[in-house]
Amino acid sequence: MNFCHLLAAGVIATGLTTLPAAAQHAGDAFIAAFDSNGDGSLTRAEYDAARAARFKATDADGDGALSEDEYVAEFTTRFEQQLAKSDRSAEKKAEERQRQIRQTHVRFGVLDTNKDSRIGRDKYDRVAERSFAEQDADRNGIVAANDVAATTARRTAARGE
């Protein structure tokens, strides 16, 4: 029984509706990815600092904008670290790597709204702003467990489940 099953079992046991595990995980992963002091909640300051650091690390040639190569290279580095920890077969990892890299190119195209093949801080920050707002359900500038629960419930309702 993994953590998700335990969670679902606990939720059912307390008589609440079952939370869809995927949305729950996305919210938790969002906090975990940027929660620099590890207290389980993400302040706007933590998020902004982590995003700024990531932008700087991604901008390998330091020209103030991310090229498609820089964007894909940064993702690939992070993804390889995840893969290294995974116990999937080499064949499955190769498949997953190919798929993820393809998606990263697509994501760059989506972020690059004016198609100049560059993502400057303005585009980067706009996307970050939107992602944070999407997770911060009660709009208090902190993404915490209560927001994840609320966002999960809202998405469930939106899907009509």
Which residues bind to Ca ion, rule: CB under 5 A?
35, 37, 39, 59, 61, 63, 136, 138, 140, 142, 147
For 68-83, the DSSP string reads HHHHHHHHHHHHHHHH
Minimum gap (Å) between residue 138 Cβ and Ca ion = 4
Residue 38 DSSP label: -
Q: From the CB of 25, what's the least distance to Ca ion, in Å? A: 18
Q: Residue 112 or 136: which CB sits closer to Ca ion?
A: 136
Residue 114 structure tokens: 């004016």
Q: Which is nearer to Ca ion, 9 or 40 (CB)?
A: 40
Burial class of residue 134 in the structure, from the number of CB atoms within 10 Å of its CB (0-12 exposed, 13-18 middle, 19+ buried): middle
Shortest distance in whole angstroms from residue 80 CB to Ca ion = 21
- Cβ distance to Ca ion smaller for residue 94 or 145: 145
CA-based angle 49:125:32, to the nearest 5? 45
Question: From the CB of 51, what's the least distance to Ca ion, in Å?
Answer: 14
Residue pointed to by tokens 């709009």: 139
